[in-house]
Amino acid sequence: MQHHDMSKSATEFAIALAQLNPTVGDVEGNAAKVRAARAKAAADGADVVLLPELFICGYPPEDLVLKPAFQSACRMAVETLARETADGGPAVLVGTPWVEDGKLYNACALLDGGRVAAIRYKVNLPNYGVFDEKRLFARGPAPGPVSIRGVRIGVPVCEDIWLEESEDYENVVECLAETGAEILVVPNGSPYARDKTDLRLSIAVARVTESHLPLIYLNQVCGQDELVFDGASFALNADLSVAAQSPDFVEDVTTLRWTRGEGGWRCNGPIVPVLEGDKADYAACVLGLRDYVRKNRFPGVLLGISGGIDSALCAAIAVDALGVENVRGVMMPYRFTAQVSLEDAAKLAGNLGIRYEVLPIADAVEGFEKILSGPFAGLPRDITEENLQARARGTLLMAISNKTGAMVVTTGNKSEMSVGYATLYGDMNGGFNPIKDIYKTEVFRLSTLRNSWKPDGALGPDGEVIPVNIITRPPTAELRENQTDQDSLPPYDVLDGILERLVEREQPLAAIVEAGYDRAVVARVDHLLNIAEYKRRQAAPGVKVTIRNFGRDRRYPIVNRFRDAGTPLPEPDETLVTRGSRASVEAFEG
Residue 512 falls inside a structural domain? no
Assess whether 258 and 292 both reside in one domain: no
What letter would DSSP give residue 426?
Answer: I
Cβ–Cβ under 8 Å, residues 514 and 498: no
User: What sign for the dihedral angle of Cα 437, 442, 448, 452?
Assistant: negative
433 beta partners: 542
57 flagged as catalytic = no
Last residue of a domain, one of 460, 486, 512: 486
In this prediction the pTM is 0.92
User: 19: domain CATH number?
Assistant: 3.60.110.10
Cβ-in-10-Å burial (0-12, 13-18, 19+) of 105 comes to buried
User: 355: domain CATH number?
Assistant: 3.40.50.620
Assess whether 246 and 347 both reside in one domain: no
Residue 164, pLDDT score: 58
CB neighbours of residue 385 within 10 Å:
14
Cβ–Cβ under 8 Å, residues 112 and 4: no
The angle, 0 to 180 degrees and rounded to 10, between the axes of the packed helices 440-450 and 277-295 is 90
Catalytic residue among 158, 175, 285, 314: 158
Last residue of a domain, one of 416, 451, 486: 486
Assess whether 225 and 286 both reside in one domain: no
Residue 426, pLDDT score: 56
Please state, in angstroms and rounded to a whole number, the distance separating the CA atoms of residues 546 and 439. Answer: 11
The string of pLDDT tens digits covering residues 128-137 is 777 888 899 9
CB neighbours of residue 438 within 10 Å:
29
234-236 vs 242-245, strand pairing mode = antiparallel
| Cα angle for residues 275, 279, 285 (degrees, 5° grid) | 110
514 flagged as catalytic = no
Q: How many CA atoms does the CB half-sphere of 323 hold within 13 Å?
A: 5
Assess whether 139 and 213 both reside in one domain: yes
Assess whether 213 and 333 both reside in one domain: no
Cβ–Cβ under 8 Å, residues 187 and 49: no
Catalytic residue among 57, 74, 122, 314: 122
- Which segments in the chain show pLDDT lower than 70? 1-10, 163-168, 423-429, 475-487, 548-553, 582-590
79 flagged as catalytic = no
Last residue of a domain, one of 486, 514, 530: 486
Residue 565 falls inside a structural domain? no
Residue 573 falls inside a structural domain? no
Assess whether 263 and 360 both reside in one domain: no
Assess whether 332 and 245 both reside in one domain: no
Please state, in angstroms and rounded to a whole number, the distance separating the CA atoms of residues 520 and 220. Answer: 45
Residues whose CB is less than 8 angstroms from the CB of residue 206 and which lie 6 or more positions away in sequence, other chains included: 163
Cβ–Cβ under 8 Å, residues 119 and 109: yes
Assess whether 248 and 351 both reside in one domain: no
Assess whether 262 and 186 both reside in one domain: yes
What letter would DSSP give residue 203?
Answer: H
Assess whether 116 and 87 both reside in one domain: yes
Assess whether 266 and 298 both reside in one domain: no
Length of the chain: 590
What letter would DSSP give residue 349?
Answer: H
Residue 481, pLDDT score: 38
Range of the domain at 446: 280-486
Residue 423 falls inside a structural domain? yes
Specify the number of domains making up the chain: 2
Residue 480, pLDDT score: 40
Cβ–Cβ under 8 Å, residues 212 and 174: no
Residue 304, pLDDT score: 95
Assess whether 309 and 425 both reside in one domain: yes
Residue 384 falls inside a structural domain? yes
